[in-house]
Chains A and B, each alone.
Chain A
Amino acid sequence: MAATSELPPEFIVKIDYDRCRRCKRCVMNCSFGCMHFTDRVVPEHKLCVACQRCVTYCPEHAITVTKNELAYKENANWSPELRKNILKQAETGGILLVGMGNPRDYPILWDHLLIDACQVTNPSIDPLREPMELRTFLGRKPDRLEFVERDDGEIDLATEIEPQVRLDVPVIFGAMSYGAVSLNVHRSLVMAAARSGTLMNTGEGGLHRELYPYAGNVIVQVASGRFGVHSEYLNTSAMVEIKIGQGAKPGIGGHLPGEKVDEDISKTRMIPVGSDAISPAPHHDIYSIEDLSQLIYAIKEATDYEKPVSVKISAVHNVAAIASGIVRAGADVVTIDGFRGGTGAAPMVIRDNVGIPIELALAAVDQRLRDEGIRNNASIICAGGIRSSGDMAKAIALGADAVVIGTAALVAMGCRICQKCYTGNCAWGIATQRPELVRRLDPQVGSARLSNLLTAWSLELKEILGSLGVNSIESLRGSRERLRGVGLDSQTLELLGVKPAGVGQ
């Protein structure tokens, strides 16, 4: 936003000059150019995005950032945000661009679901003293197993099982492309995934060669721009994902501005330095489900049928039927991304108004696949809006095999959700390619923090399983009987397949 804009500042930066020792650390830390130094620190309020970087790093705790309370006169109908947006568009004539997931006050169904626990008739289990199993396998499973008797009288497996990917914790890091995020973010994610026995997802920007040794913990994505996709890339993975849609912007493509395409990104994405990387809205070789099937099998051919293929779609109205088609088209995993999922950049009108809540989409897909008798044929990954281990447990109980965290992972690495990812100025070194900012995130520290988060969530999930009186994740997965709804209307309950709180089994 130009400093000449008529928009009032969103935030006010207050400096306590009695405490300030003029060390200029805030000036160095602010990546949005808000802090100036003449004989003392002078903030340019209009440029502040409330990323909290200066506040966090001021050694004297002399900085506070507050809302510019009366920037817009109070009006219950015309919120400050609406007026701000109109002013911006009146000045620029452009589509409003935003970062991160949908911040609007839509109902969050996770917060209306409660989990059961044992009392008397079935004992709860203490996860610190008894085994508690979270191991999960992603991939297509047969409906049944067959066995043969060998010459020595022992039996052996006759059914050939398609490739499965093992997770020690049912949480996967979400797709965030190298370009949208820094290489240090990819390094942190992949190291944490390796340490915690799970997967990270490259997003659509390819995989930097430096990370090839981590192939076993990587989902490589194939998106509509096909950036960085080549045979070796496909085979440097645990799983391949075809990205059809993203929860934050269903039906919308992507655009990485040329300024971000440096030497390394250029090599990884296989595009010239400085050129815009534009992902088309659709895959131009997929205009139908049968086209998708061709791409699934093309990838399977390219990877020698050794890796599960996932298809990621946004949660839209007809998600259940689409997911069913995807499974029948040959996908081994379906990833559903809810409308609260994050993004580096999306048109605000799409992010805030398109798609459906992941809770309903997940419930609909799981039930549809069961109704059609094909639930075993694919794993379901639930993405977009998982904020805590409680959300994770509820998602698994609704039917997910595993969940995805994107925003939560970024927050663990320092993100303050200031929603300016698309500017390339991320003060925390996450959504940026500016070398002086990128190095703010130390991959050793980032990966340790991510692993800590996964460890904490695993422990919490084990506590939940123990209180439910079960000792394996299979007994939670799809067990909607252990969920109850509060404050939900009967139709929502029916769609979720969950009884209202107060009703017994």
Chain B
Amino acid sequence: MRGNCYIPSGCSVSGIMSESGRRQDGNAIIKSIALMHDRANGLGGGFAAYGIYPRRSDLYAFHMMFDDMAAKERCEEHFKDRFDIVLDEAMPTRPGGAYEEETSGRWGERGVQPIINPPVLWRYFMDVPEDKTKFVSDREYVVGEVMEINSTIDGAFVASSGKNMGAFKGVGYPEDIGVFYKLGEYKAYIWTAHGRFPTNTPGWWGGAHPFCLLDWSIVHNGEISSYGINKRYLEPFGYKLELRTDTEVVAYLFDLLVRRHKLSIELAAKVLASPFWDDIDRMPDRERRIATALRQVYGGALLNGPFSIILGHSRGMVGFNDRIKLRPMTCARKDDMLYMSSEESAIREISPDLDEVWSPRAGTPVIGELDEGVA
């Protein structure tokens, strides 16, 4: 299952959020990402959804991928002493499923079937035993476990590990992946999606986006040219970068900056896509002091290279670009809905009549948050 190649990728991204917390099914996000079919090449697609497990919202939902049943057994042996498994079941899927529109028809022309050779897909709703959290928080504990499973259990991969959320991803066009995972049957207040155009082909399900850790999810169009140092910056903090793709550093950096270092999302975005020194020098005193310190201290976390990223977490969705906007991103609002996408057309496809449409400035995050009081 795990390829040995590194995969730089082009791609499409799309995100939908209801700031009032209304949940809607996955058909809209599938329709949106399907429009950008040509930005992907069938070698990876995926979705992250928030609010999908309201009845089990206090449990960590692990979406797992296994190479084979032996890997599943190895992993369950590992889980046995580390978690209380409340429920585990096969991921509901529709093997051979395909998005019925013309775009996916091209698979047929090429003589390839949609969604082939899925790994063993299983989900676990788990609690962290109390005795495990004497010295670390349960979230810290889960992060450590995710790192350990991904790096030490052969053939097992954690696709997502948050509460009341999950990742649905695989090798194929995203719209077909959406159908394969029956996303029409889930309801979420945030949906993000990714269609992938990797420039080489390990065909690895775990390598598709979104990348998730706890409730963080990242879909990413671009290439992190600073991957080498971002990886070396993260490693001393205990993150194991084993997935051979640059996108995972984004998820781990957000986890480090926001969860562990308690920076706000705005400040974290200023670290990852920092203002230029020329602009910092012109800032008023307080802002300049803060921006200077962020660059001095977090230089190893600066993301360089072309990217547009949509970050999902349980309270919101953040879209942002690299410092000189080398990849596209368009945002829009309609009533309580916030949209972000690689192309405006993918937003108009599902919401033709918008209140507001804009292209965010380079390096400037667009932040969607659940209204206060929304649980």
**A-to-B contact residues, CB < 8 Å:** 118, 120-123, 125, 130-131, 133, 135, 137, 141-147, 154-157, 159, 161, 164, 370-373, 375-376, 468-472, 474-482, 504-505
Contact present for B286 and A471 (CB under 8 Å):
no
A123 to B325, CA, bound (A): 11
Whether B111 sits at the interface, judged by CB under 8 Å, is no
CB proximity of B287 to chain A, nearest CB, Å: 9
Partner of B228, one of A371, A469, A480: A480
**Residue numbers in B under 8 Å from A474 (CB-CB):** 226, 229, 295, 299-300, 302, 304
19 additional A-B pairs beyond A131-B276, A469-B304, A470-B305, beta carbons within 8 Å, are A122-B222, A122-B223, A122-B225, A122-B326, A123-B326, A145-B261, A145-B263, A145-B297, A146-B262, A147-B290, A156-B286, A156-B289, A161-B293, A373-B236, A477-B300, A479-B229, A479-B232, A480-B228, A481-B229
Say if the beta carbon of B141 comes within 8 Å of chain A.
no
User: With A146-B262, A157-B289, A474-B300 in contact, do A121 and B228 touch (Cβ < 8 Å)?
Assistant: no
- Kindly identify which residue among B8, B235, B290, B296 contacts A121, using a CB–CB cutoff of 8 Å: B8
Alpha-carbon distance between A130 and B286 when the two chains are bound, in angstroms: 27
Contact, CB under 8 Å: A505 / B8: yes
In whole angstroms, how far apart are the Cα atoms of A370 and B300 in the complex?
Answer: 12
Given A122-B222, A133-B277, are A469 and B305 also a contact pair (CB < 8 Å)? yes
Contacts of B300 in A (CB 8 A): 376, 474, 477-478
Q: Given the complex, which residues of A lie within 8 Å of B228, measured CB to CB? A: 478-482
**With a CB–CB cut-off of 8 A, which chain A residues contact B227?**
479, 481, 505
Which chain A residues lie closer than 8 Å to B263 at the CB level? 145, 147
Cα-based distance from A372 to B8 in the complex (angstroms) = 30
- Contact indicator B304/A472 (Cβ below 8 Å): yes
Cα of A49 to Cα of B246 in the assembled complex, Å? 55
Q: Flag if A472 contacts B302 (CB, 8 Å).
A: yes
Cβ proximity bits B24-63 to A, threshold 8 Å, 1 near / 0 not? 0000000000000000000000000000000000000000
Please tell me the size bucket of the interface on B.
Answer: 35 or more
Task: Judge if B345 is at the interface, Cβ distance under 8 Å.
Answer: no
B286 and A154 form a contact (CB under 8 A): yes
A contact residues around B267 at 8 Å (CB) = 147, 155
* Bound Cα distance from A121 to B229, whole angstroms: 19
Q: How far is the CA of A125 from the CA of B199 in the complex (A)?
A: 20
> Which residues of chain A come closer than 8 Å to B264, judged between CB atoms?
147, 155
> Is B10 positioned at the interface, with any CB of A under 8 Å from its CB?
yes
Binary per-residue interface labels of chain B (58-81) against chain A in the complex, 1 for a CB within 8 Å, 0 otherwise: 000000000000000000000000
| Chain B minimum-CB-distance residue to A504 | B6
| A122–B306 CB distance below 8 A | yes
Closest to B236 in A: A373
Interface: B187 (CB within 8 A): no
A155 touches B290 (CB 8 A): yes
Check: B116 CB closer than 8 A to any chain A CB: no
* Contact partner, A504, options B5, B10, B232, B306, Cβ 8 Å: B5
B128 contacts chain A at the CB level, 8 A cutoff: no
**CB closest chain-B residue, reference A161:** B293
Q: Flag if B225 contacts A505 (CB, 8 Å).
A: no
Question: Which residue on chain B has the smallest CB distance to residue A130?
Answer: B324
- Assembly CA distance A140 to B231 (angstroms): 21
User: Of residues A133, A145, A154, which shows the largest number of chain B Cβ atoms within 10 Å of its Cβ?
Assistant: A145
Q: Which 6 A-B pairs have the closest CB atoms?
A: A481-B228, A505-B6, A479-B228, A474-B299, A475-B226, A475-B304
Pairwise interchain contact A370-B304, C-beta atoms closer than 8 A: no
The distance in angstroms between the C-alpha atoms of A370 and B6, with both chains bound, is 23
With a cutoff of 8 Å between Cβ atoms, the chain B residues found around residue A155 in the complex are 264, 267, 290
The reply to whether A480 and B225 contact each other, CB–CB distance below 8 Å, is: no
Q: B299–A122 contact, CB under 8 A?
A: no
Q: In whole angstroms, how far apart are the Cα atoms of A159 and B296 in the complex?
A: 12
Residue from B222, B264, B304 with most neighbouring chain A CB atoms (10 Å): B304
- The residue in chain A whose Cβ has the minimal distance to the Cβ of B10 is A121
CA distance A179 to B232 in the complex (A): 43
User: What's the least CB distance linking A264 to chain B, in Å?
Assistant: 39
Q: Given A155-B290, A156-B286, do A123 and B277 touch, yes or no (CB 8 Å)?
A: no
Verify B304–A131 contact, CB threshold 8 A. no
B297 x A122 contact (CB < 8 A): no
Q: How far, in angstroms, from A338 to B277 measured CA to CA in the complex?
A: 32
In the complex, how many angstroms separate the beta carbon of B282 from the nearest chain A beta carbon? Answer: 13
- Interface flag for B131 (CB, 8 Å): no
Contact pattern, B 254-288, Cβ under 8 Å of A = 1, otherwise 0 = 00000011111001000000101110000000100
B294 beta carbon closer than 8 Å to chain A: yes
